[in-house]
Amino acid sequence: AMPKLQGFEFWKTTLKGARYIVAPMVDQSELAWRLLSRRHGAQLCYTPMLHAQVFVRDANYRRENLYNEACPEDRPLIAQFCANDPEVFVQAALLAQDYCDAIDLNLGCPQMIAKRGHYGAFLQEEWDLLHKMISMANEKISVPITCKIRVFPEIDKTVKYAKMLEEAGCQLLTVHGRTKEQKGALTGVASWEHIKAVRKAVGIPMFANGNIQYLSDVHQCIEETGVEGVMIAEGNLHNPALFEGRSPPVWEIAEEYLEVVHQHPCSLSYVRAHLFKLWHHTLQIHQELREELAKVKTIAGMAQVSQELKKRCQEELANQVEGEKPAGGLLFPHWICQPYVRPGPKDVQCENGKSTALAKSVCVKRALEVTEGSSEFLSKNKQKKKARNPNKNFNLEQKPKYIKCEQCGNPKGNKCVFSLCRGCCKKKSYKEMADCPGHGLLFKTKYEKSLKWNSGLAEGQGLLRSLFLPIENFTITERFPAEMGPAETR
């Protein structure tokens, strides 16, 4: 085999010098969306984040997320995994390497599920483990290993971190200029300063991620930070033609996407999510169609809602008054693809005292309303739960305090004989061969039953032997004549 390409060679040759990149987005960067994005200027795409452990274990998961989707127009493509075990990461990469141009290790996911699963941005303090994962994969995998990271608050620590990954064998680095705490209501502005510092310090190609709403931001980012390319996520979902510098009417993109989905089917939930993002501004106005889009159960149904939205927008377009400003503080009328800037708590002042469009994009999802227990303050989700169970109480102050398990601090089982949670109780009951009726664990009972059964079996066998005593004296061939062949082959 040819030696694999490294760093800049890999970026120039395999990735064809890609500058415009679509991020790995869970449930959102599926094949159909990637193909749509490529038609509109994206030069490199990533798969959604795949779980290495599941990828190794489950052939269906491999088929659904990578194998079945192999499609010549969908290259260059980087497959992204989350993992926290070098062996598992290598196994997953070996299974994926023939279907992509590089394997990316996700060190940027800040979500709660990543914290629970111990992966993504929650590995960023475990440098020895990361070094081992990357260097082992770099040795054994036939395609380059790349990484996507978030920054630390301190620039110098971020630079050290990046250099460690490079030294371990990372061939391309994507830096998302936010810390792992900057998500949801605290998203804030990504720091290009951190990205610039890393770019100066490492000798591998680099992509920047964060703060991109228009093509002009992409060029400004490349100029200010010196990176090779820019990766977009949210901006691409609201306007997949961003890299062409166009803001087309939403229906044009929606129709084209549905056409691609027709050729490359994907999960209904992905399609729904994409249409919600594309039509975001219009659905604020036509609330009843929003409900409709949430309910329909088929792609055809979704296409119909999209058609109805198009019809209403075109009527509005026909009745537009010359020079009228778009409603809702938008830059363009709501039926044009444009970024969704989450309202910030207040305008953030930038370094030079001016508040910029980027600063305004401090994304703050609506503050969690203080629930007064009255339903008008409950989110839709909580209202649904309340409808199912009218006695449900969302007030944290009044929630019963749980008694903790003596060993691990999780809530203990109410009727547990050992005062433990189920997990700890199971270990203890098994070790001590005890029962805990509270948790439905009957190790002792089952053990005693098995003893009884075995002794009964032994008695029964004794009885059988006395009945068929002469059988023991037969030779084996008399019982099984030669023509039956040796015992092993039967």
Q: Which residues are catalytically annotated?
A: 109
> With DSSP H G I counted as helix, E B as strand and the rest as coil, what are the percentages for the chain, rounded to 5?
50, 10, 40
Angle at 176 between CA 173 and CA 182, to 5 degrees: 150
CA dist 46 and 34 (Å) reads 8
Regarding beta strands 435-436 and 441-442, do their DSSP bridges make them parallel or antiparallel, or are they unpaired? antiparallel
8 A C-beta contact, residue 148 and residue 124: no
Helices 127-140 and 155-168, axial angle in degrees (round to 10): 30
Contact 24, 49 (CB under 8 A): yes
Which among 168, 155, 235 has a CA at the least distance from the CA of 200? 155
User: Alpha-carbon distance 392 to 386, whole Å?
Assistant: 6
For 172, other C-beta atoms within 10 Å of its C-beta total 27
Q: In this structure, which amino acid lies at residue 72?
A: P
> Which DSSP state fits 391?
T
* CB count in 10 Å sphere of residue 82: 27
Determine contact, residues 206/228, Cβ cutoff 8 Å: yes
DSSP characters for 259-311?
HHHHHS---HHHHHHHHHHHTHHHHHH-HHHHHHHHH--SHHHHHHHHHHHHH
Cα–Cα distance, 319 to 370 (Å, whole number): 41
Tally Cβ neighbours within 10 Å of residue 405: 20
Q: How far is CA 389 from CA 370, 382, 383, in A?
A: 20, 10, 10
SS (H, E, C) 26-45: CCCCCHHHHHHHHHCCCCEE
Output the CA–CA distances (angstroms, integers) from residue 406 to 229, 421, 441, in the order listed: 52, 8, 18
